[in-house]
Amino acid sequence: MGMADQELPGAESPGKVPAVGGPYASYVLALLVLVYVFNFIDRQILSILAEDIKRDLNLSDAQLGFLYGTAFAVFYALFGVPIGRLADNWVRTRLLSFGLTLWSGMTALSGLAGSFTQLSLARIGVGVGEATAGPSAYSMISDWFPKARRATALSIYAAGLYLGGGVSLLIGAVVVKGWNTAYPDGGPLGLVGWQAAFMAVGIPGLLLALWVATLIEPIRGRADGLPPPVPMPGRTIIRNFLADMASVIPPLTLVNMALLGRRALLENIAALVLVAGLVATLVHFTGEIPQFLAVGTGLYAVISWAQSIKRRDKPTYEMIWGTPAFVLTIIGFGSISFVGYSVGFWAAPYAMRSFVEPMAASGAPVPWYGTKEAVAFLLGGGGALGGFIGTILGGVLGDAAKKRHPSGRIIVGSLATLVPAPFIWLQYTTTDLATFFLCYAPTTIFGSMYVGVAAATTQDLVMPRMRGAATATFFIGTTLFGLGLGPWFTGFVSKLSGSLGTGVLSLLLMAPVTITCLLLVYRWLPAAEASRITRARTAGEIIGDDVT
């Protein structure tokens, strides 16, 4: 049996799998968009619930930023590495179904939390479960759609991010108001509105997981005209997954490095000492122990994984960490997410504190858009529509720009930094609520245009079997760096300055980092893409001689 006839574990035979880019591919994409909507409903609903949670659990803005960002992001990124590698070797439909079950269940359990610690643990569980979504979905979409349509397809999928984030605000506001009106002294089990909202969005995801399990697994590499990789035996997949887990989860990282040799162990210990020193320094100056213990753990885990993969899978290491264009793509677009996640989370709390609550306290007539429900509708609906338009527009323009220049997608992605900046400044300095809402539209539309082009860029720089690992690495930038630090940083500056607006505006300091990285990617990307096959072969990847 030739390589083209071999099957991956759990996959259909080539003759039974629908055509690349056909109707079934569109059906899969639609369902994956729905999954991503649920993904971000469960992730983003904390924004509209933040003020209620802050009051009931007596939290600071820095703690809110930790709950939304760090508690979720560090473990999302940490587990995303071995899960991304698992997505490269196992049945992605099953993996996604399992992850959806986990994160939906943990979201529902968030509704039973009665303390900062309990809610943090639930958010960690959501992060671990959602770590399955990106690697599985990005890899499947890349195998269902040809390269010429890939950025568009990935952008349509990414639009679920903004749809889910917007819908979460609407659902959260409606459930909280309805529950607290019906049960002003607490409902069944003593639950209050924000707890009921977590349950309301978590439980339906368990049913969606059953639907995802019915999807057909695509053939890897077929959309790129490449033969599928040689399938791994089930035991090898399990062994590699456990090894990948050991490569990122302390203290198993030290055991894993010891098995790889004395030099590997010494390099890892050196990295651990450096990270520990950095964490101790940051904790000393900020006093934020949970924040930097979590971030330090994530940073050390990423370094450990990179060191491990360098020795266990050199081709993957070279195509990801050994490619400057790939690394700078991660940093550049990760810095955009640093700003985007922060603005997306803090917009609703800022509107409540700066406009809605003062209006209500003044006793003067309140305009229709000056209530909590209106904030949820305008920010949620505007964010969903703007993000949907922006991600799809970014993907379409990115694919079109790619045809004109090898780095065309990077030009489109850079708009996510250049255009929103002045609108963010105006939005968080104005004293007029209507102006605040109007500025949110261009910020969301242009700020979301990078998502699909960034994902497509990383996918095009690696071989098909490496796409899950590439996606996991991409999400290290957008989650560990962007989500794990951005919202917390804003909350911490707010805590120090006493002004949430100052906290948000401080995010604009990230612009020079973004612009520098993307300029270098624009310059280096054409050569990196053109040499993909050659670099993979040089690193030891087994590729047929007929592939160029």
What mean pLDDT comes out for the span 456-468?
A: 87
Sign, CA dihedral 532-83-156-443, equals negative
- Choosing from 312, 340, 360, the residue where a domain stops is 312
Q: Which residue is associated with the tokens 């065309």?
A: 408
**Residue 490 lies inside a defined structural domain of this protein:** yes
Residue 485 sits in a domain whose CATH number is 1.20.1250.20
Q: Average pLDDT of the chain?
A: 89
Amino acid at 429: T
Planar angle of CA 181, 182, 187, nearest 5 degrees: 115
**Residue 375 and residue 433 share a domain:** yes
What mean pLDDT comes out for the span 263-269?
A: 95
pLDDT at 116: 93
- Joined together, the tokens standing for residue 214 give 């019915």
What mean pLDDT comes out for the span 297-313?
A: 90
CA distance 493 to 10: 50
Burial of 299: CB neighbours in 10 Å, binned 0-12, 13-18, 19+: buried
CA distance 468 to 494: 37
What mean pLDDT comes out for the span 232-247?
A: 83
**Residue 324 and residue 296 share a domain:** no
- Joined together, the tokens standing for residue 251 give 């203290």
**Residue 101 lies inside a defined structural domain of this protein:** yes
**Residue 359 lies inside a defined structural domain of this protein:** yes
Burial of 364: CB neighbours in 10 Å, binned 0-12, 13-18, 19+: exposed
Q: For residue 395, is pLDDT > 50?
A: yes
DSSP state of 19: P
**Residue 208 and residue 149 share a domain:** yes
**Residue 231 lies inside a defined structural domain of this protein:** no
How sure is the predictor about 14, in pLDDT bands with cuts at 50, 70 and 90?
Answer: low
What mean pLDDT comes out for the span 109-119?
A: 93
Question: Half-sphere exposure of 490 toward its Cβ, with a 13 Å CA cutoff?
Answer: 30
- Residue (of 380, 347, 313) closest to 162 by Cα position: 380
What mean pLDDT comes out for the span 261-282?
A: 96
Q: For residue 374, is pLDDT > 60?
A: yes
**Residue 436 lies inside a defined structural domain of this protein:** yes
pLDDT at 4: 36
**Residue 399 and residue 255 share a domain:** no
Q: For residue 32, is pLDDT > 80?
A: yes
Q: For residue 535, is pLDDT > 90?
A: yes
**Residue 335 and residue 307 share a domain:** no
**Residue 413 and residue 302 share a domain:** no
- Residue (of 35, 267, 224, 223) closest to 129 by Cα position: 35
- Joined together, the tokens standing for residue 202 give 């978590």
Q: For residue 271, is pLDDT > 90?
A: yes
pLDDT at 547: 53
**Residue 411 lies inside a defined structural domain of this protein:** yes
Number of compact structural domains in the chain: 2
What mean pLDDT comes out for the span 104-128?
A: 94
| 146-180 residue pLDDT tens | 888 887 888 888 888 888 888 898 899 899 989 99
How sure is the predictor about 132, in pLDDT bands with cuts at 50, 70 and 90?
Answer: very high
**Residue 251 and residue 340 share a domain:** no
φ, ψ of residue 461 in degrees (nearest 5): -90, -5
pLDDT at 142: 86
Do the beta carbons of residue 157 and residue 102 sit within 8 Å?
Answer: no
**Residue 163 and residue 263 share a domain:** no
For residue 158, CA distances in Å to 325, 391, 458, 539 come to 22, 7, 15, 32
DSSP state of 495: H
Do the beta carbons of residue 409 and residue 401 sit within 8 Å?
Answer: yes
Burial of 115: CB neighbours in 10 Å, binned 0-12, 13-18, 19+: exposed
- Joined together, the tokens standing for residue 156 give 């349509």
pLDDT at 508: 95
For residue 25, how many other CB atoms are within 10 A of its CB? Answer: 22
What mean pLDDT comes out for the span 202-207?
A: 95
Range of the domain at 277: 243-312
**Residue 468 lies inside a defined structural domain of this protein:** yes
CA distance 233 to 73: 32
* Percent above pLDDT 90 for the chain: 58
Q: For residue 421, is pLDDT > 80?
A: yes
pLDDT at 240: 83
Do the beta carbons of residue 29 and residue 188 sit within 8 Å?
Answer: no
**Residue 410 lies inside a defined structural domain of this protein:** yes
Q: What residues contact residue 214 under an 8 Å CB cut-off, 6+ apart? A: none
- Choosing from 267, 284, 312, the residue where a domain stops is 312
pLDDT at 312: 86
pLDDT at 162: 81
pLDDT at 3: 34
What mean pLDDT comes out for the span 404-425?
A: 94
Q: What residues contact residue 524 under an 8 Å CB cut-off, 6+ apart? A: 324, 325, 328
- Joined together, the tokens standing for residue 250 give 């302390």
- Choosing from 280, 297, 312, the residue where a domain stops is 312
**Residue 249 and residue 171 share a domain:** no
**Residue 323 and residue 308 share a domain:** no
Q: For residue 10, is pLDDT > 60?
A: no
How sure is the predictor about 220, in pLDDT bands with cuts at 50, 70 and 90?
Answer: confident
CA distance 229 to 245: 23
**Residue 82 and residue 159 share a domain:** yes
pLDDT at 15: 55
**Residue 154 and residue 281 share a domain:** no
For residue 510, how many other CB atoms are within 10 A of its CB? Answer: 20
Q: For residue 84, is pLDDT > 90?
A: no
For residue 352, CA distances in Å to 337, 365, 375, 461 come to 23, 16, 8, 43
Do the beta carbons of residue 58 and residue 360 sit within 8 Å?
Answer: no
